[in-house]
Chains A and B, each alone.
Chain A
Amino acid sequence: MKPLIEMKNVTKDFLQGDNIINALKKTNFVAYEGELIGIIGPSGSGKSTFLTILGGLQKPTTGEVLLKDQPFSDLNIKEKSKIRLENIGFILQSSNLIPFLTIKEQMVLYNKITNSEVNQKCMDELFLKLDVEKFKNKYPNELSGGERQRSAIAKALYHQPSVIFADEPTASLDTKRAFEVVKLLAKETKDQKKATIMVTHDERMLEFCNKVYEIVDGVISEITNK
């Protein structure tokens, strides 16, 4: 199995007043293709720091992040943006949908930004699989929470990223929908050989994950007996 995203000896310190806070202690982490990885931990434990460093939104204090075996965390902001746009899909709790674009236009935006052709086949497949087809011409605020979340997943998958970050993707869903969404995510990850890293509070979702990590006080450890 190929490693898709990797953290090597990463630490992150913050300066708060005169105190140095070790938000993330020395961390080694790797996500291979086809893996859905669950991350749990109390709030303030360093989950977000972990995810944002992995996603290149902030720099680690020491260590480095590799994306598809290429150095990622040491690039400049512009280069990282470009790599994120092409290789990383985000599914966020607060929905990554743009309020004034229809669901279909959310996908087309990627093509407009990258000056590429609309991938109609990929879009149709995704819409069918995620059951988005019937409201693809609606705006996000016309949809239910579940429909929005499915659309957000479609958007995250549309440009075929190799890594997906999902931050509480099931937060606004009822149990039935939540299971559906996570199952879908697990299936997509496996079929498309992506790596998905999902932060969640909902422990029922962990049964779909290949691995589960817990972060407590900046220390990450794998939970084997989930």
Chain B
Amino acid sequence: MFLAFKELKYSKAKFALIIAVVILISYLVFFLTSLANGLASSYTNAIKKWESDQVILTVDSNDSMMMSYMNQEHFDSVETNGIKAKLALFPAVINNPSSDNVLDSRVDVYFLGIEDDSFIKPSELRDLKLQGNQVIVDEELKKEGYKIGDIFGITGSKDQYEIIGFSSKTTYQTAPVIFMSLDTWQKYRYGTANTPDLFSAIIIKGESKDMSLDLISYTTDEYISTLPGYNAQVLTFSVMIVFLIIITAFVLGIFIYVLTIQKTSMFGVMKAQGISNWYIGGSVIIQTFLLIIIGLVIGLFFTILTGIFLSNVIPFAINILFYIIITLSFILFSFFGGLFSVKAVLKIDPLKAIGG
């Protein structure tokens, strides 16, 4: 420790540069992780909030909930040891009729039809009754200036809806979800004349035992991975993050290696004096750890700072577990990078230092 600390203190500028590189890369990695996590969450928040185990669609829908049409018979055919709920989903574009520029006030949303006593209904809003055109909307719409009691319209129709409550963390494929009664949803979807009693999916908490042959069940996680673009996006981010961690380990490993090689004669003298490989190699590893940890802490600090300022603009979600995993990976990989230098230390021949 003594040797490692003293050298860091003496060669401040040199090590500051290395730390700066670690800060930049770790900032990028933490930032990407938060962004990836934020994007993934805004894709799936609404689904996660159901706390369901299974999602049932029609076979014909080909994984697309919007293309799945089912009726009461389908619902009755599903046997489960838990509870089941009807769910109807369709995209919509809403606008603010009292806005100066109605066109500019358009927002993409998903209309989600449920029965009022359904477990899918956000638990914190259980007391609010979904009926008629009274709806619960995701709090993202607060950013558009909506308040409780406000009215919004939809494009292509004269229908208007009243906001009776805001739910949190209920976005689906990054768009805010609007909860409404199944009847209201069906009127929106199929029109007021001869409205068919159709919905999109059955959500199960528990396990399904038997169901009609033209239905197919997914676990909730399976269903999430069928969302268009979800897997591609998660994979892209993961590959970037993993590679950045490995690159950092290499960069740091090479820096430390070059510094070690520069100190060959000094280490040789130390070995001649009887200072063990263990002590010299140990201080190289300690230095590696110090550099990576200082860099990571500062990088993380900047990430969190960025999160505070930007979380309203971009989907940015802090996830402590991911941060811990990434931090540990950084440290682990850098340790391997540092081992190259330890190997170099072991190979130094004290004889050469003495001038043999």
**B-contacting residues of A (Cβ < 8 Å)?**
48-49, 51-52, 55, 57-58, 78, 80-86, 88, 90, 92-94, 96, 98-101, 105, 108-109, 112-113, 139, 167
Q: Judging by beta carbons under 8 Å apart, are A167 and B354 in contact? A: yes
A90 to B272, CA, bound (A): 8
* Contacts across chains A and B counted by CB atoms under 8 Å: 78
Quote the shortest CB–CB distance from A174 to chain B (angstroms).
Answer: 22
* Nearest CB in chain B to that of A49: its residue: B356
Given contacts A49-B356, A98-B266, contact A85 B351 (CB under 8 A): no
Cα A55 to Cα B86 in complex, Å, equals: 86
Q: Determine the residue in chain B with the shortest Cβ distance to A86.
A: B274
B322 within 8 A of A: no
A78-B276 in contact (CB<8A) = yes
When the two chains form their complex, are residues B266 and A57 in contact, meaning their CB atoms are under 8 A apart? no
Query: B3 at the A/B interface (Cβ < 8 Å)?
Result: yes
**1/0 per position for B1-37, CB-CB distance to A under 8 A?**
1110011011100000000000000000000000000
Nearest-neighbor residue (CB-CB) of A199 within chain B: B355
- Can you sample 5 A-B contacts with CB below 8 Å? A55-B272, A92-B269, A112-B1, A139-B10, A167-B354
In Å, the complex CA distance between A80 and B2 comes to 23
Measured in the bound complex, the distance between the Cα atoms of B259 and A60 in whole Å is 34
B269 close to A90 (CB less than 8 A): yes
Min Cβ gap B287→A in Å is 11
User: A109 near B2 (CB under 8 angstroms)?
Assistant: yes
The answer on a CB contact under 8 Å between B7 and A51 is no
Q: Which of A51, A108, A112 contacts B354 (CB 8 A)?
A: A51
Task: Tell me if B279 and A92 are in contact (CB < 8 A).
Answer: no
B354-A48 in contact (CB<8A) = yes
The CA of A101 and the CA of B283, in the complex, are separated in Å by 14
Asked whether, in the complex, the Cβ of B355 is within 8 Å of the Cβ of A94, the reply is yes
* Interface check B281, CB cutoff 8 A: no
For B269, the chain A residues whose CB sits under 8 A away are 90, 92, 94, 96
A144 to chain B, nearest CB (A): 20
Q: How far is the CB of A24 from chain B (nearest CB, A)?
A: 12
| A84 adjacent to B273 (CB under 8 Å) | yes
B310 at the interface (CB under 8 A from A): no
Known: A57-B272, A81-B275, A167-B355. 13 other contacts (CB 8 A): A48-B354, A52-B354, A55-B354, A57-B354, A58-B356, A81-B276, A88-B274, A90-B269, A92-B354, A94-B353, A100-B7, A109-B2, A113-B275
Q: Which residues of B contact A (CB under 8 A)?
A: 1-3, 6-7, 9-11, 265-266, 269-276, 279, 350-351, 353-356
| Whole-angstrom distance between the Cβ of A62 and the nearest chain B Cβ | 19
* Contact in complex: B3, A84 (CB < 8 Å): no
How many Å lie between the Cα of A92 and that of B350 in the bound state? Answer: 12
Partner of B351, one of A58, A94, A100: A58
Task: Tell me which of B353, B354, B356 has the highest count of chain A C-beta atoms within 10 A of its own C-beta.
Answer: B354
* Option from A85, A100, A105 in Cβ contact (under 8 Å) with B274: A85
Measured in the bound complex, the distance between the Cα atoms of B329 and A16 in whole Å is: 48
Residue of B nearest to A96 (CB): B269
Contact partners of A88 in chain B: CB under 8 A: 273-274
Contacts of B266 in A (CB 8 A): 98-99
Whether A109 contacts B3 by the Cβ 8 Å rule is: yes
Q: When the two chains form their complex, are residues B6 and A100 in contact, meaning their CB atoms are under 8 A apart?
A: yes
Please name all residues of chain B whose beta carbon is closer than 8 Å to the beta carbon of A167 when the two chains form the complex. Answer: 354-355
Q: Are B356 and A52 in contact (CB under 8 A)?
A: yes
Output the nearest chain A residue to B278 by Cβ-Cβ distance.
Answer: A78
What is the minimal beta-carbon distance from A146 to any residue of chain B, in angstroms? Answer: 20
CA–CA, A52 to B9, complex, Å? 34
Q: Which residues of A contact B276 (CB under 8 A)?
A: 78, 81-82, 85, 113
